[in-house]
Structure 1
Amino acid sequence: MEKINDITEFEQLLEAKEPFFLLKHSTTCPISAAAFDEYAAFLNAAGTSQKGVYLAVQDSRELSNYIAEASKIRHESPQVIFFKDGKPEWNESHWKITKDNLSSIQ
């Protein structure tokens, strides 16, 4: 799992057109901490080859706002967005961010 911090890094991910998951994470929220653990468990599961990145909302507010605007998905935290072919395909937030829910996305 890789942390991204700026718009350039996000744009490079989109331009690659490879599928990836992005977690918007709050470093001060217990719900976000639980979502982060579920996200990490999903990415670290045996047989999972999914690419996953995250950003800390407190550290990268400009990037978080940019993603909300570019994807046309209202910002929430925690929030996971799955991108495929450079476009958002799925998103979920809060307690719905679970290893099982993430595993169901192709």
Structure 2
Amino acid sequence: MGIFNKIFGSSDASEAPEPSKIQWKPLTDLSQLDTIVEESKAKPVAIFKHSTRCGISRMVIKQFESQYDLEENQMTMYYLDLLNYRPISQEIAARFQVWHESPQLILVKNGITVGHASHSQINAIPLAQFV
């Protein structure tokens, strides 16, 4: 393992996020976007768009997971592997009217985007204010 892999993690595109206290739901099908809209009417939903080949994205998701302090029933968390599901990412940008960036966190409540951030700003979002 090289020095950059030690710092930023592996670049293996088949990797899923490491186990964390977040109960990630893999976002792998366009039809799930309709489900997200419906789920967001009962509780907020977050979509984390992650590039598995990007060291910055890996660093941000690790920080996000370590700082995440909500209970499982407070927010539904979706994980999108951008490299394997690019069409879903494009539809998210269109449907939720948020310019695509990576990494990116999009918060949906009552069917609409109520917050979003990318890169290091993801960890600055106070998630509790959306619950």
Q: Does TM, normalized by the shorter one, top 0.5?
A: yes
Distance 1:8 1:97, change over 3 A: same
Distance 1:31 1:80, change over 3 A: same
2:61 aligns with 36
Instruction: Please say if 1:101 is aligned against 2:101.
Output: no
1:67 aligns with 92
Displacement after TM superposition at 1:46 (Å): 6.2
Which residue identity does 2:34 align to in structure 1? E
1:18-97 alignment, distance < 5 Å: 18-43=43-68, 45=69, 47=71, 49-97=74-122
What secondary structure is seen at the aligned counterpart in 1 of 2:47?
A: strand
What secondary structure is seen at the aligned counterpart in 2 of 1:28?
A: coil
* Greater relative CO, 1 or 2 (CA 8 Å, sep 6+): 1
Runs of at least 5 residues in structure 1 that lack an aligned partner in the other structure: none
What secondary structure is seen at the aligned counterpart in 2 of 1:97?
A: helix
Identity of aligned residues (%): 27
RMSD: 1.8
Displacement after TM superposition at 1:40 (Å): 2.2
Runs of at least 5 residues in structure 2 that lack an aligned partner in the other structure: 1-23
Report the TM-score when normalising by structure 2: 0.71
